[in-house]
């Protein structure tokens, strides 16, 4: 198949207009300024049911196109995203709050096209399991049907693509429910992608909790992909039980980083910073607890503080900023509460910790807290914002015990000048991914998933693609 499309080109204004409701709607405000961006329709379960019905009807035709044609269409969708990247990034910055520059809005939009291209490129061959004595057993992966995707507000576009790209590539159709905090970003992304895809293959229904609950329970949804809190993930498990749905759940994390005594504080300081403060700390697999050996503890604190204090925070559309506001007031309150608990305990504030009360927007200053107990709320609860506790340790066994002490295990990292030593420590950490001398770096080719109560199922790569198919053995 060779298909050509005339790429739809949007400005920010025309893209926003394209996703506005014909009448009514709920206001969506910029978390940096409080100003209204636009309106979002609030469909209910009836509209969701209609979208699922249409997706169910379209699925067989979509599957019949085959891997090659679906991959070509996904690649063309990546082209369409790139052609509209600036309009998408501006809307994302206004709605989510993240700056245009740094590893933020433009970065996220670029990741959307990169993930589509990578997913389209994967080869999914038939696997021969046994071939001997006249027996041939082969493993195939068939489409599941309609996949329900429920996304978060921190990386709304990118994580939506993480969900929809492998689902569509495998031959499923997809219905997305975006976060009620960031629906416009996902509506806009789907508007661009659907300029390429056939009708009803991909739909987005922005709604409230009732829509999410119905999606998780609906008898015509074969699988749910969810990224969000552990509590919400448990609710989805319960809602999906009666229909025995397949699930991929990427849930809460409180990632630990361990700095070994042979690490170079100045060499790792900037990577430590971005591991913790990417997207202003609003990332599931961000570094949220930093354990530093006593021999270099003060040096790491000083080097990290020197980097952090020079990272500008402000309105995302200002090209100079690399940190933005928290996306919503509820998350601002969580960060403020946890930092206050640390301060009241006597922990040492290296930077930040005092938000300006009279400024517009949900800005919380970049905050580093040292000399803090491992049982402090700022350590044991996921802060999901720009505040990092730094805990001193004396022995590697002590650091590993503290790192493994929580019931979550999405990611972790080890920092050392000796990669062999770092790998030995990494093997003892209970987490789905352990990075060495970096934190949170994801790759569309490398499987990603959590341990313990950080969820189950894999995303990315061929292994992630397989999770969107039903395995079938043909034995004869």
Contacts of 459 (CB under 8 A, 6+ apart): 162, 166, 225, 248, 250, 447, 448, 449, 467
Q: Is 179 helix (H, G, I), strand (E, B) or coil?
A: coil
For helices 183-193 and 66-83, give the axis angle rounded to 10 degrees: 120
Residue 321 reports pLDDT greater than 70? yes
Residue 449 reports pLDDT greater than 80? yes
Residue 409 reports pLDDT greater than 70? yes
**pLDDT of 8:** 86
Residue 1 reports pLDDT greater than 80? no
Token pair 């050509």: residue: 4
**pLDDT of 62:** 98
Percent above pLDDT 90 for the chain: 97
Contacts of 393 (CB under 8 A, 6+ apart): 258, 291, 292, 293, 294, 399, 402
Instruction: Count helices and strands (H / E) in the chain.
Output: 16, 20
Segment 379-408, tens digit of pLDDT: 999 999 999 999 999 999 999 999 999 999
Residue 289 reports pLDDT greater than 60? yes
Spatial contact of 384 and 350, defined as CB atoms under 8 Å apart: no
Q: Quick one: average pLDDT of 346-374? A: 95
Q: Quick one: average pLDDT of 364-368? A: 98
Q: Quick one: average pLDDT of 35-46? A: 96
Q: Nearest Cα to 113, choosing from 86, 87, 79?
A: 79
**pLDDT of 4:** 60
361: left (phi over 0), alpha (psi -120 to 50) or beta: left
Going along the chain from its start, the domains and CATH numbers come out as 12-251+454-475 (3.40.605.10), 255-443 (3.40.309.10)
Local structure of residue 286 (DSSP, 8 states): S
DSSP string, 143-167: E-SEEEEE--SSSHHHHHHHHHHHH
Contacts of 181 (CB under 8 A, 6+ apart): 153, 327, 328
Q: Nearest Cα to 253, choosing from 475, 106, 423, 407?
A: 407
Residues recognised as catalytic: 250, 284
470, exposed or middle or buried, with CB in 10 Å at 0-12, 13-18, 19+?
Answer: middle
**pLDDT of 7:** 78
Average pLDDT over the chain reads 97
**pLDDT of 3:** 58
Segment 47-69, tens digit of pLDDT: 999 999 999 999 999 999 999 99
Read off the pLDDT band of 6 (50, 70, 90): confident
* pLDDT: which is higher, 223 or 357: 223
Spatial contact of 145 and 59, defined as CB atoms under 8 Å apart: yes
The pair of structure tokens assigned to 399 is 């650091």
**pLDDT of 417:** 98
Contacts of 407 (CB under 8 A, 6+ apart): 452, 453
Beta strand ranges found along 63-155 (DSSP E): 127-132, 135-143, 146-150
**pLDDT of 5:** 66
| Predicted TM-score of the model (pTM) | 0.96
Segment 75-123, tens digit of pLDDT: 999 999 999 999 999 999 999 999 999 999 999 999 999 999 999 999 9
Q: Quick one: average pLDDT of 10-38? A: 97
Measured in whole angstroms, the distance separating CA 30 from the mean position of its chain's CA atoms is 20
Residue 358: other Cβ atoms inside 10 A: 4
The CA distance from 222 to 238, in Å, is 15
Read off the pLDDT band of 476 (50, 70, 90): confident
Token pair 């576009």: residue: 157
């Amino acid at each position: 198949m060779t298909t050509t499309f005339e790429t739809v080109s949007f400005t920010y204004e025309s893209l926003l207009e394209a996703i506005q409701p014909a009448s009514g709607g709920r206001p969506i405000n910029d978390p940096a300024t409080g100003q209204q961006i636009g309106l979002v329709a609030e469909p209910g379960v009836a509209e969701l049911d209609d979208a699922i019905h249409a997706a169910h009807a379209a699925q067989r035709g979509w599957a019949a196109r085959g891997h090659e044609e679906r991959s070509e269409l996904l690649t063309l969708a990546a082209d369409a995203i790139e052609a509209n990247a600036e309009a998408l990034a501006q809307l994302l910055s206004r709605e989510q709050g993240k700056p245009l520059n740094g590893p933020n809005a433009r970065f996220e939009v670029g990741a959307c096209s990169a993930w589509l291209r990578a997913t389209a490129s994967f080869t999914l061959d038939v696997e021969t399991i046994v071939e001997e004595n006249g027996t041939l057993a082969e493993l195939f992966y068939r489409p599941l049907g309609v996949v329900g995707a429920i996304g978060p507000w921190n990386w709304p576009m990118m994580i939506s693509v993480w969900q929809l790209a492998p689902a569509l590539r495998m031959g499923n159709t997809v219905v997305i429910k975006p976060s009620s905090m960031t629906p416009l970003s996902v509506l806009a992304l789907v508007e661009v992608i659907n300029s390429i895809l056939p009708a009803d293959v991909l739909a987005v229904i922005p709604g409230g909790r009732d829509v999410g609950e119905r999606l998780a329970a609906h008898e015509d949804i074969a699988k749910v992909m969810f990224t969000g809190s552990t509590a919400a993930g448990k609710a989805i498990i319960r809602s999906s039980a009666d229909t025995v749905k397949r699930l991929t759940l990427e849930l809460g994390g409180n990632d630990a980083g361990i700095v070994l005594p042979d690490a170079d504080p100045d060499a790792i300081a900037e990577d430590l910073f971005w591991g913790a403060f990417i997207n202003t700390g609003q990332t599931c697999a961000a570094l949220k607890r930093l354990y530093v050996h006593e021999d270099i503890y003060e040096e790491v604190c000083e080097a990290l503080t020197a980097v952090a204090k020079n990272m500008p925070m402000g309105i995302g559309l200002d090209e100079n900023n690399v940190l933005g506001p928290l996306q919503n007031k509820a998350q601002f309150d969580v960060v403020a509460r946890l930092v206050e608990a640390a301060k009241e305990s006597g922990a040492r504030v290296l930077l930040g910790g005092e938000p300006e009360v009279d400024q517009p927007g949900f800005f919380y200053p970049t905050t580093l807290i040292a000399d803090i107990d491992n049982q402090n709320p700022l350590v044991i609860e996921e802060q999901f914002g720009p505040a990092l506790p730094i805990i001193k340790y004396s022995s590697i066994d002590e650091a590993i015990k503290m790192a493994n002490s929580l019931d979550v295990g999405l990611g972790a990292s080890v920092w050392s000048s000796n990669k062999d030593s770092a790998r030995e420590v990494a093997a003892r950490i209970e987490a789905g991914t352990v990075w060495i001398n970096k934190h949170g770096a994801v790759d569309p080719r490398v499987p990603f998933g959590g341990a313990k109560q950080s969820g189950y199922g894999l995303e990315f790569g061929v292994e992630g693609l397989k999770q969107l198919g039903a395995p079938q053995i043909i034995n004869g």
